[in-house]
Amino acid sequence: MESKKETLERKDLPQELKWDLESMYKDVGEWEKDYNKAKEMAKNFDSHKGEAVSSSENLYNTLKDKDELYRLASNLYSYTHMKLDEDTRDGKSQALSDKGLSLYIEVEEKTSFLVPEILTLDLNVLEKYYEEKPELKLYKKYIDNILRQKSHVLSAREESILAQVGEIGSAPEKIYSMLSDADLKFPVIKDEDGKDVEITHGNFIPLMESKNRDVRKNAFEALYNTYEGFKNTFAAALSGDLKKNIFNANIRNYKSSREASLDTNNIPLSVYDNLINSVHNNLDSMYKYMEIRKRALEVEELHMYDLYTPIVKDVDFKIPYKEGVELVKKALVPLGEEYMDVVEEGFSSRWIDVYENRGKRSGAYSSGSYDSKPFILLNYHDTLDNVFTTAHEMGHSIHSYFTRKNQPFVYGNYSIFVAEVASTANESLLMDYMLKNVVDKNERLYLLNHYLESFRTTVFRQTMFAEFEKIINEHLEKGESLTADYLCEEYKKLNELYYGPSVVVDDEIAIEWARIPHFYYNYYVFQYATGYSAAVALSQKVLEEGKESVDKYLNFLKSGSSDYPLNVLKLAGVDMTTEEPVNNAMKLFSKLVDEMDKLI
């Protein structure tokens, strides 16, 4: 099956192109059995309250029971959120997702006493516990991390209250998702062939890549004018979400929500600030790239709807899914046999939900639980960009696979800070493979353009998002209001700064913040840019140094959260506490811009 212009109902898609959620639960009845089991486990966990740290035996049993409870609850919740994402219009899936989320919130509330109790432990007593109960050493890193954040943990009662209001706190993001993904309807426009096509989240970027400027302009204006009509609702939802984060930061004795978010992974604020500073210092290269784009497209004015279309003429990479899969496989061979065995398993064992269907969640992601397959959601169209998305999400899922196979549950996930490294390294290897095997000058230019676009969207654009997050959070933290007009004004200013004098920053782009779900992820996006920089460094090491670097890289993928993310990356060969990785990525971007300038 090839992707089609019309969006199908889910039942009309072939089974082999849909992910295998049945491997988690055959049906809702089976899910309900585990749900009832988890409810009982959560109820019984109360027996540990007040006794968790009274002996080494009690501490170990409490931590073991907590892991078992979270392991089951995360499996239940993962299933429901992926089931809902298959068709966000489905009322039964919405209800099941609510039930799964409510259970997870209940588990957080039932276990909320544990951290405050651990914080009452005397360090000498804790060392004695490790001697008495050697099995307890499994949790040493977990306990050390709790003690590190001692000044930010509240009393058992206060932690319980915070956990109980967790479901309320998730409301703004849920409202955003329902409005943006389920309720919002976009207009129909004419495509390149003059046929009617309804704009969707999944086909918007392919439309923006169109060679026909009228198609791009019409899609751009239609989508953003739709968001403009709901700007006050989107502003209220975003404001509510950020206020929740600020409240949680304040009550936990942090100076800002940014400090609170980064401290989760022991990341200093300087890493965030260094990123913004490094990108600001290299904006001249972006401005030069925009000048090349304007010249190549032969337009009097370069508009925001001109930024995604390839600037190389007479090259049209139309890559059906099966061909894209083969490209990805060939590109990842330098990562070795152990890695490639998992790649083969991923593509052949229904990890992936391939095509868009009506009501399906937009975008792409890797998900799943400790005990499930590391599933991948795609909305595949036959574009080069979608091939890179496939490589990207496969990188996430293989990272999850190796982590879960090599770490116990307590360390069986990797931190957000390193989450984008494995995915982006895959993209870098794919680009390297394609550049080495291309012979046509125009195709090489096309690939260079794509690589530069990857930098633009992943380093420059995500850093712009990160700076926007910083600005609007600080605005709220000063006691100011987050109105739609303020958000639009600040967002447009940043676009003008990041894209420079060669670009007409159209008024419509000011509302783009309303369609970015990552602004609800509490300082997530900066890690795309830092992760990209680390990934470029690691992929180059794999290509240049071979087996030694491959082994280090695989060890990184297997490390999970067994150490702090900055330390895990250092062992792999990248030090993100310095500006060097970002500056090196900027140098590569500048080099690619210069090559394109000479060839075009």
Please list the active-site residues. 393
Give yes or no for a contact between 511 and 230, defined as CB atoms under 8 angstroms apart.
no
Instruction: Say how far apart CA 65 and CA 74 lie, in whole Å.
Output: 14
Whose tokens are 């300082």? That residue is: 523
Rg (CA), the chain: 24
Output the CA torsion 86→179→378→345 (10° steps): -50
Task: Let me know if 543 is exposed, middle or buried by CB neighbors in 10 A (0-12, 13-18, 19+).
Answer: middle
3-state secondary structure 172-196: HHHHHHHHHHHHCCCCEEECCCCCE
Task: Let me know if 475 is exposed, middle or buried by CB neighbors in 10 A (0-12, 13-18, 19+).
Answer: middle
Please choose, from the candidates 280, 303, 304, the residue with its C-alpha nearest in 3D space to the C-alpha of residue 498: 280
Which residues make beta-bridge pairs with 302? Answer: 503
Number of residues that make up the chain: 600
Instruction: Say how far apart CA 234 and CA 226 lie, in whole Å.
Output: 12
DSSP-derived 3-state class of residue 594: helix
CA distances, 509 to each of 128, 317, 467 (Å): 60, 27, 16
- Alpha helices per DSSP H over 438-561: 441-455, 461-477, 484-499, 526-545, 547-558
Please choose, from the candidates 365, 295, 327, 335, the residue with its C-alpha nearest in 3D space to the C-alpha of residue 518: 365
Amino acid at 187: P
Amino acid at 585: A
Q: Which helix (H) or strand (E) holds 366?
A: strand 365-366
Q: Which stretches does DSSP call E strand in 107-218?
A: 188-190, 196-198
